[in-house]
Homo-oligomer: A and B are copies of this chain.
Amino acid sequence: MKLNRKDILGIQELSVEEINLILETADSFIEVSTREIKKVPTLRGKTVINLFYEASTRTRTSFEIAGKRLGADTINISASTSSVVKGETLIDTARNLEAMNPDVIVIRHAAAGAPHMLAGLLRQSIINAGDGAHEHPTQALLDLMTIRAKKGGIAGLKVAIVGDIAHSRVARSNIHGLTKMGAAVIVAGPATMIPRGIEKMGVVVHTQIEEAIREADIIMMLRIQTEREQQNIFPSLREYAQYFSLNRGNIGLARKDVLIMHPGPMNRGVEISPDIADGPHSIILDQVTNGVAVRMALLYLLTGGVS
């Protein structure tokens, strides 16, 4: 099967069939990263540009490794070293990159919709690596892949997402993905962190973590953006941790075989206690491993690969 789509901008626009195609392709790539020679020549002669307007280790490195293991040439551009400092518009930067004939442009940008704008302008495939508080589709895909691998499927599972739902692109993409795939999604966080009308996305809202994680199959903790502490969204990190962290005191409310996820980077002791992060329920590092495979799958499918 082929992915009949030029870009990956968000989970919202993906069909269940497309998600399944991506996940199955990713499953087949997981093995490459465990070989003695972790490289296939599938994307030889293709150019992948990682255009990051926000700092990132995990996502940029994951895309770079994914590209290199497929044999692509990878080019990193980060805002701090780019023409951005000279005031060029995003559109001009993008059109310039287009003119150099890359095959895929991976973009992370603080402005929601930036990848969509590029997708409409450029002939190249665009992958959204996170746009403002909007979507982070490759994170959701790797989360879906991880859940599916660990639970054998997604439909019928109860998934709790806890934290700053309002400002989280990870939450938004996962809500789209999980509900499409048939999971029941519960979100929880301080009232100031729950966007109004979120129920329309098909989720149940709680303002206490205890209610949200009760009987959960999966708990997905979101990173609290500690730099927002000054903005009065929440009173203090200490108070946030007291009411919304996942820890030994409340994890027992979930199912015995609950799995704990976190997109990283973690604030240990804030949204998640270290013993939970490193404990037997945690599949946080599986998420990272699967991230490389999901990104290999997307690069492969967007450049015409058949699965």
Contacts and interface: CB of A to CB of B under 8 A. Distances in A.
Contacts of A109: none
Interface in A49-75: 49, 52, 55-58, 60-62, 64-65, 68-69, 73, 75
| Copies of this chain in its oligomeric complex | 3
A202 interface: no
Given A73-B65, A73-B68, A58 B265 contact: no
Nearest to A49: B61
A1 interface: no
B37 A44 contact: yes
Interface in A16-62: 33-39, 44-47, 49, 52, 55-58, 60-62
Contact of A97 (B47, B61, B68, B84): B61
Interface stretch (A6-14, A178-186, A210-218, A285-293): A285-293
Interface string A70-88: 0001010110111111111
22 contacts: A37-B46, A38-B46, A39-B45, A45-B69, A47-B69, A49-B61, A56-B82, A57-B81, A57-B96, A68-B73, A69-B73, A83-B265, A86-B223, A87-B226, A87-B267, A88-B264, A88-B265, A89-B268, A92-B266, A93-B265, A99-B288, A100-B288
